[in-house]
Amino acid sequence: MKMNAWSRACLVFLLWAGTAIASHTQAFTKFVSFDRADGLSPRSSAASHFKVLHAFTWAQSPQQGNLLLDAAGNLYGTTLAGGASGNGVVFKLTPHDDGSWTESTLYCFKGYPDGSGPVGPLILDAAGNLYGTTEWGGTSAYWGVVFKLTPATDA
């Protein structure tokens, strides 16, 4: 189908207008600039302070996904591997008044059928339940699971 000059101009205008309208609905804010090409060194002011809260061991594996902070100041997260069966864990870091932190393992994944390799962020509901996903495991052993972890109650 051949388009005359008027039809092409109208099409270009509509594409431009659609792009212009859509671009006003998006916002981008830069929070941190990085110094190094590998993105590992954020620029910081003289007032910044960095402290290691917990160092993972080889058996625990690196943390994957985001950390979750609750109202009491506890941090929750997951490791891709590690734990009793090597399939990852859900952990909790509890702060103390002296600035130290205690790590506790809330759940060790077994692979089949409960999942393996937790990834992505955890979600905390009002009752204290944690929700997340795994990359592998489940009934098919390959497609992962969505899980709910109900905290143990102190009796």
Q: Flag the least confident range among 10-14, 35-39, 58-62, 88-92.
A: 35-39
In this structure, is residue 155 part of a structural domain? no
Nearest to residue 109, comparing CAs of 132, 140, 76, 75?
Answer: 132
Tell me how far apart the alpha carbons of residues 121 and 126 are, in angstroms, rounded to a whole number.
17
What is the pLDDT at residue 11?
A: 62
Q: Where are the beta strands (DSSP E) in 96-154?
A: 101-108, 116-124, 130-136, 146-149
109-113 long-range CB contacts below 8 Å, 24 or more apart? 109/83, 109/85, 109/134, 109/137, 110/85, 110/137, 111/85, 111/87, 111/136, 111/137, 111/141, 112/137, 112/138, 112/139, 112/141, 113/137, 113/138, 113/139, 113/145
* Interatomic CA distance for residues 116 and 97, integer angstroms: 34
Output the average pLDDT for the chain: 74
Residue 18 belongs to a domain? no
Nearest-Å Rg of the Cα atoms of the chain is 23
Q: What is the mean pLDDT of residues 2-13?
A: 64
Give percent above pLDDT 90 in the chain: 21
Domain tally for the chain? 1
Tell me what pLDDT residue 29 has: 54
What gap in Å lies between CA 53 and CA 25, rounded to an integer? 39
Is 71 among the domain residues? yes
Q: Do the domain assignments include residue 41?
A: no
Domain presence at residue 154: no
Q: Is residue 26 part of a domain?
A: no
Dump pLDDT digits (tens) for 61-110.
656 668 899 999 999 999 888 888 888 889 999 999 998 888 898 999 88
User: Could you tell me which of 128, 125, 109 has the C-alpha nearest to residue 117?
Assistant: 109
More confident residue, 40 or 134: 134
Is residue 101 one of the residues assigned to a domain? yes
Does 47 map to a domain? no
Least confident range of 36-40, 80-84, 116-120: 36-40
**Domain around 138:** 63-149
Which tokens in the block code for residue 148? 């709910």
The pLDDT value given to residue 61: 60
pLDDT of 16 over the 60 cut: no
- Considering the chain, what percentage of its residues have pLDDT values greater than 70? 57
